[in-house]
Amino acid sequence: MDFREAVKEFQVSYDDTIINRIISQLSLNFVPYELTEPEQMIAYMVKSQIRPYLEKAKKIRKGTKNRWYRFLELIYGDNYSEHGYIGLNRMYNLNLSRENKYLLPERVREMLHEDLLADLDEEIGFWNTLHEKEDKLREKLFQEALHCWAIPALEYAIYRVDSDLPEQQMVSHINLAFLTKYIELRTKSKRLSRKKVDGHWIYFKEKDDPKDIRK
């Protein structure tokens, strides 16, 4: 089924093929001007609404800012001065990162002083544990946003779009209806209001002063 046919199938029989196609695109990193498929254009809108909510996962890092900067300097070096510490990655031709859990090769471990190695192991263990907690919370927030707000908003928008419109207009109408419904569902479920401050929309509890609660 092409995009239009999949939309019509949903409208007639609630076949969720089109919903699943859009959701399957959420894991991709999009460059806006390279989007060519309708499902990608809609998925980009969905991601743009879910992404700010995931920032709440960063609360796991609270109180660790200075420690994190020191750890980054240890791994990547000090770029603030010409003769600063160059970092483990450059010193030993490594690629330590969050993705590979900062795993030190045995050849490097054998070259490091035992006190430095002990400190490194402690820091790496601390940050790997914290990253794991943050990733789990981020996934929990993603699933909440996806199933409580995004999918219902997609269903609402796709069910109501005129499937005889040109494809690009269909996408525009779906995205607008999705955005409206997503905001409505989120604000209702969290008992929030929304207000534009300095050109940006922020969410706040109605009895509180408006502040950005995404952080």
pLDDT per residue as tens digits for the range 18-29:
999 999 999 888
Please indicate, yes or no, if residue 53 is contained in any of the structural domains: yes
pLDDT band at 82 (very low <50, low <70, confident <90, very high): low
d(CA 38, CA 172): 10
Note whether 155 and 195 are same-domain residues: yes
Q: Tell me, yes or no, whether 176 lies in a domain.
A: yes
- Structural domain contains residue 48: yes
64 and 54 in one domain?
A: no
Rounded to an integer, what distance in angstroms lies between the CA atom of residue 140 and that of residue 71? 27
- Is residue 211 in a domain? no
Shared domain for 91 and 118, answered yes or no, is yes
Three-state secondary structure string covering the chain: CCHHHHHHHHHHHCCCHHHHHHHHCCCCCCCHHHCCCHHHHHHHHHHHHHHHHHHHHHHHHCCCHHHHHHHHHHHHCCCCCCCCCCHHHHHCCCCCCCCCCCCCCHHHHHHCCHHHHHHHHHHHHHHHHHHHHHHHHHHHHHHHHHHHHHHHHHHHHHHHCCCCCCHHHHHHHHHHHHHHHHHHHHHHHCCEEEEEECCEEEEEECCCCCCCCCC
Rounded (10°) CA dihedral 134, 151, 214, 194:
-170
Whether pLDDT at 60 is above 60: yes
**What confidence score (pLDDT) does residue 214 get?**
33
What does the pLDDT look like over 186-212, one tens digit per residue? 988 877 666 666 666 565 665 544 443
Q: So what's the pLDDT on residue 35?
A: 86
Q: Is residue 213 part of a domain?
A: no
How many angstroms separate the CA atoms of 127 and 46, rounded? Answer: 30
Domains of the chain: total: 2
Domain span holding position 21: 3-59+137-205
Domain boundary among 85, 111, 133: 133
Residue 109 resides in a domain:
yes
In a domain, 54, yes or no: yes
143, 194: one domain = yes
pLDDT in tens, 121-132: 999 999 999 999
Domain-located, residue 44: yes
Does 128 lie in the same domain as 96? yes
Question: What pLDDT, on a 0 to 100 scale, did the predictor assign at position 85?
Answer: 73
Phi, psi of 162 (to 5 degrees): -75, 110
Instruction: Let me know whether 126 and 76 are in one domain.
Output: yes
- Do 66 and 51 belong to one domain? no
